Structure 1
């Protein structure tokens, strides 16, 4: 069945319309621009109020945070000060304890030194008492080690050289030409020491026997005298004393050295 012309024309018109509609849809430049309405004055004021409120809240929040930080910093500083004060007090206490320990140690050391000195002095006194009547004789010509023979030779020498009649308890040879003699009476020992000057020039030397400590002191004095002699000084050695070119010195037991006699403390 054939379509009429009007139907054909109508179809062409519809197709043309549809084609134009598609072109309009595809071309953005043909879209109409939507115009935004301008805000009113009230809206602008409200926007400013909202902005001011938000800014105020933000500033308040920042202020609170700063205040919290400052508070925490103050607490930290306070805690630090407390800790420093505690440390200072602990250090002060430790320093006090150390001082007390030093004082206690010094006191204990002094007490120990005094006790040792007391023991040494007691031993010295005991040794002195033991050798109270003893003499040392050097240079006596004798070839015997027999004590009886030695005693007879010594008594004969005392009688002939010193004109003294004495009694010997014991005599012992301790070297080639040296012996120790224990007298029965202390007075006999003193008489022999007083008369030993008569032996001058005979190379026989008589001295009171010394304790170990006294021997050590005399050795120190003799060593000093020997050095002074090497320098050309005139020296004279005595018991715990030395004279160098007329200057007299005595042994100071506190300092354990020779001190000028006029400076020696009693």
Structure 2
């Protein structure tokens, strides 16, 4: 019974991942009341003005006051936005663009953030990636089964 529940949870996670694949979360931007079509247009205009990207979005929705989800037409557009999101640093407003993650993925990334802070306090250089940390140029990946960071195995020749 427990294995069946675990299998169903994994399947649900996979389906959720597929639906969020081309989505991005935009936080910190304030857009006055708009329907989905207007919001989509305003987000496309924002991407063009601030990131200098002419991208056609598939859709846009409001999650909360300053949090929006946008869906790109394809993965190329999504990756292009992520590549240029660093250009938002020059703005006075704190606007962020991140990948739309599943609940489980958000929990893992939150745990990695905590571990990264701890490592930085210990004087280490840390970069955070998707389900991994790079600590002093050494990559550590997240072990799904054990729920902890692990050193990658060195391949046997």
Same topology, TM > 0.5: yes
| Equivalent residue pairs, number | 152
Residue 136 (structure 1) aligned with residue 15 (structure 2):
no
- Per-residue deviation, 1:240: 0.8
**Greater strand content:** 2
Q: Which runs of 5+ in 2 are unaligned?
A: none
Equivalent of residue 111 in structure 2, options 217, 220, 240: 220
- Paired with 2:43 and 2:125, the residues of 1 have a C-alpha distance of 33
- Paired with 2:75 and 2:121, the residues of 1 have a C-alpha distance of 38
Q: Output the TM-score relative to the length of structure 1.
A: 0.50
Equivalent of residue 257 in structure 1, options 148, 151, 154: 148
The answer (yes or no) to whether the contact 1:137–1:204 under 8 Å persists in 2 is: yes
Residue 178 (structure 1) aligned with residue 74 (structure 2):
no
Equivalent of residue 193 in structure 1, options 82, 101, 104: 82
Largest Rg, 1 or 2: 1
- Paired with 2:72 and 2:147, the residues of 1 have a C-alpha distance of 31
1:138-175 CA-partner distances (Å, limit 9, x unpaired): 233x2424244432332112223333222223322334
- Paired with 2:90 and 2:3, the residues of 1 have a C-alpha distance of 46
1:223-262 CA-partner distances (Å, limit 9, x unpaired): 2122223333322111111122333211111211111234
Q: Which runs of 5+ in 1 are unaligned?
A: 1-111
- Per-residue deviation, 1:176: 4.2
1:190-234 CA-partner distances (Å, limit 9, x unpaired): 322233344344443222200111111111111212222333332
Residue 124 (structure 1) aligned with residue 50 (structure 2):
no
In the alignment, which residue of structure 1 is the partner of 2:134?
243
Cα pair distance change 1:166/1:258, threshold 3 Å: same
- Paired with 1:216 and 1:194, the residues of 2 have a C-alpha distance of 24
Q: Output the TM-score relative to the length of structure 2.
A: 0.79
Equivalent of residue 153 in structure 1, options 42, 47, 64: 42
- Secondary structure of 2:52's counterpart equals coil
Q: Which has the higher contact order (CA 8 A, sep 6+)?
A: 2
